[in-house]
Amino acid sequence: MGYRMIQKRLSKMGHKYSNLTIHKYMKQLGLKSITFKRKPAYIKGKAHKVFENLIKQDFTAEKKNTKWCTDFTYIHLLNGSLRYNCSILDLYDRSIVATKTTNYMTADLAIETLNEALANNKPEENLILHSDQGVQYTSKSFTEYCSNNKIIQSMSKAGCPYDNAPMESFFGKLKNEHIKHYEIKNDNHLNFLINDYVYGYYHHIRPHSALGGKTPFEARFT
């Protein structure tokens, strides 16, 4: 968390300090904000032939549960094995409406995560769900699930992570601010860490610049 977000958080607690003052004290104490590693360059691909990009990098929504983004990421356990997380983010307030982790990156995981999000939030028809062109999201089972639930699919251009930037940003925060600081022993430990970050720190404590310094919880319910 950088000095600007610290200033906003302290202000909410009744402590009034300028950005300059906080930056000065952070420098004196040797505190630095976490920086994300730049990802390698991507090769741009052609637009998908099935689902149009309806978002077009407009990562805003006037109402909750009208525009969601989803993606997968992988996480290493201490023994070197991989686990795959699928999460869904609401563009209205950047809240995570569902997150699930399993051993394999499959269409079933995408469906289970979406099913959880629908059950917990009950959006109206014609919800837009944006993803990349991964085979999980173009699979017959997933596209039929979306169609049956009146969900409109939207897809990024192949090889263009900027088309799904909010998910890239969320996974970067999850890993850099939390996951990488632990030696993850097993699945239970990993699930605890993810839920602790998402439903604790990320939703209720961490200010978000896109929300004017509010937390996702504050933006959603106040």
Task: Collapse the DSSP code of 121 into the 3-class scheme (helix H, G, I; strand E, B; otherwise coil) and give the result.
Answer: helix
Domain limits, the chain: 1-33, 67-221
Per-residue pLDDT of the chain (222 residues; tens, 9 = 90+): 555 555 555 565 566 666 566 556 556 665 655 554 444 443 444 444 479 999 999 999 999 999 999 999 999 999 999 999 999 999 999 999 999 999 999 999 999 999 999 999 999 999 999 999 999 999 999 999 999 999 999 999 988 989 999 999 999 999 999 999 999 999 999 999 999 999 999 999 999 989 999 999 999 998
**DSSP string for 131-175:** E---HHHHSHHHHHHHHHTTEEEEEPPTT-GGGGHHHHHHHHHHH
Burial of 46 (0-12, 13-18, 19+ CB in 10 A): exposed
Burial of 190 (0-12, 13-18, 19+ CB in 10 A): buried
Q: Where are the beta strands (DSSP E) in the chain?
A: 67-76, 82-90, 96-102, 127-131, 151-155
47-71 burial string, b = 16+ CB within 10 Å, else e? ebeebebebeeebebeebbebbbbb
Contact between 98 and 109 under an 8 Å Cβ cutoff? The reply is no
- What pLDDT score was predicted for residue 222? 85
Q: Return the half-sphere exposure (C-beta side, CA atoms, 13 A cut-off) of residue 96.
A: 25
Q: What are phi and psi of 159, to 5 degrees?
A: 75, 20
Q: Does domain 67-221 have CATH number 3.30.390.50?
A: no
- What pLDDT score was predicted for residue 41? 41
- What pLDDT score was predicted for residue 36? 46
Q: What is the edge-to-edge ordering of all strands in the sheet holding 96-102?
A: 96-102, 82-90, 67-76, 127-131, 151-155
Contact between 171 and 99 under an 8 Å Cβ cutoff? The reply is no
Instruction: Please give the model's pTM, rounded to 2 decimal places.
Output: 0.80
State the pairing for strand pair 82-90/67-76: antiparallel
